[in-house]
């Protein structure tokens, strides 16, 4: 979420779910198979943070540099549903786990599209970018999600979600605030826990984990919300991390110096990667600049240029930028896109915190490194230490 209220940090509220809010006029949904990329380019420096919102690796002290210790993430625990609710959840899960085949073909998901002005899209994009829930989405999925959000206006005092109910939507706050209330066992009245503000999201855990609404959320003002339905969330947001991991793991298998990684290491690396796109002629990294990002080429072609000469060419599965991460050196060459390019990338902080063992794997292939470093004019003496 954009901001986490103190009640959530204390694990009193782990997710907060409108009975029937007023839907803004002119926002009737239309079917679509998903939006194409908006054409927006994302550079390594401007793309979203690479920390994964869906999988938090279990780190040991050896995995962390001293300078990173103060940045440890706070992880909330999931609420524990009642036995009665778990019985209902099992029934739902058995349906979602239904087998598919020629006799029962799975229907292709069609995301709804709610018409929005350019200004509305810009506003919802700002709200989404502040929420970790959507950090796994690439540009195309992000556009699809934006189209699937439905504008909802509520009046002050409206009960948006009620404790114990099944959840069918999550909400992002654009304007106004909500009060989060919870009734504890043995108590007759709801207890005020916290307020949530513009940029915050609530209601997602009921969709992610089939858990009941853990608290009641009431509009403290006249408000403007954006609502995302369960099907859209499940098919776009929740599955985005799994789809991303599958694609990245397949690409990582093609990276020669990482071929000795075990499945856990490969999965760990995949969860830390994000994507960015470049067009023909775009500079991905520039010679002389301090390197803080490692790249894997997912599609397209690129080349490394030094002293006006092409010293290396990259195709799908190729990688670059790892030397600067390992040795804290400035970029030794400029890498330029030679077509439409999609890359997966990981910044220095994630590399140090998550991939200590991978550094050792990289150093095992010293022959490959000597060749590459000599081509780039780098010192190879440290490889003999």
Closest CA to 357 of 223, 278, 277, 258: 258
Task: Tell me whether residue 140 is annotated as binding.
Answer: no
Burial class (CB in 10 A: 0-12, 13-18, 19+), 378: middle
Task: Tell me whether residue 322 is annotated as binding.
Answer: yes
d(C-alpha 87, C-alpha 145), whole Å? 31
Closest CA to 42 of 135, 145, 174, 147: 135
- The secondary element (H helix, E strand) that includes residue 129 is helix 118-129
CB atoms within 10 A of CB 106: 9
Task: Tell me whether residue 83 is annotated as binding.
Answer: no
Contact 261, 319 (CB under 8 A): no
d(C-alpha 344, C-alpha 198), whole Å? 31
What is the side-by-side strand order in the sheet with 201-202? 22-23, 150-154, 223-229, 169-175, 201-202
- DSSP classification of residue 101: B
Task: Tell me whether residue 162 is annotated as binding.
Answer: no
**Binding site, residues?**
204, 213, 322, 331
**Binding site for 3',5'-cyclic AMP, residues?**
204, 213, 322, 331
């Amino acid at each position: 979420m954009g901001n986490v209220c103190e009640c959530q940090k204390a694990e009193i509220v782990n997710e907060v779910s409108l009975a029937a809010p007023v839907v803004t006029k002119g926002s009737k949904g239309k079917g679509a198979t998903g939006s194409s990329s908006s054409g927006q380019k994302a550079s390594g420096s401007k793309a979203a943070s690479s920390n994964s919102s869906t999988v938090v690796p279990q780190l040991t002290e050896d995995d962390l540099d001293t300078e990173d210790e103060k940045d440890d993430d706070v992880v909330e625990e999931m609420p524990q549903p009642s036995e009665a609710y778990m019985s209902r959840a099992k029934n739902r899960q058995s349906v979602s786990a239904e087998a598919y085949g020629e006799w029962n073909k799975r229907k292709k998901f069609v995301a709804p599209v709610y018409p929005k002005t350019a200004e509305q899209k810009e506003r919802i994009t700002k709200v989404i970018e502040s929420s970790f829930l959507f950090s796994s989405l690439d540009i195309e999925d992000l556009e699809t999600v934006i189209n699937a959000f439905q504008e909802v206006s509520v009046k002050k005092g409206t009960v948006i979600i009620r404790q114990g109910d099944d959840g069918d939507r999550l909400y992002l706050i654009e304007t106004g605030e909500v009060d989060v209330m919870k009734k504890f066992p043995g108590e007759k009245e709801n207890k005020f826990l916290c307020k949530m503000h513009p940029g915050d999201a609530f209601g997602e855990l009921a969709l992610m984990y089939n858990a009941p609404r853990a608290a009641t959320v009431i509009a403290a003002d006249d408000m403007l919300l954006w609502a995302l339905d369960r099907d859209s969330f499940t098919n776009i947001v929740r599955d985005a991390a799994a789809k991303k991991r599958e694609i990245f793991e397949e690409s990582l298998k093609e990276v020669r110096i990482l071929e000795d990684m075990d499945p856990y290491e490969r999965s760990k690396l995949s969860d830390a990667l994000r994507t960015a796109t470049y067009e023909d002629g775009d500079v991905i990294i520039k010679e002389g600049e301090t390197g803080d990002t490692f790249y894997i080429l997912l599609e397209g072609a690129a080349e490394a240029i030094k002293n006006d000469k092409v010293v290396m060419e990259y195709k799908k599965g190729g990688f670059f930028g790892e030397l600067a991460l390992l040795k804290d050196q400035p970029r030794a060459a400029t890498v330029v896109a030679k077509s439409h390019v999609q890359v997966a990338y990981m910044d220095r902080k994630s590399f140090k915190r998550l991939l200590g063992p991978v550094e050792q794997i990289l150093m095992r292939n010293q022959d490959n490194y000597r060749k590459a470093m000599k081509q780039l004019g780098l010192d190879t003496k440290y490889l003999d230490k």
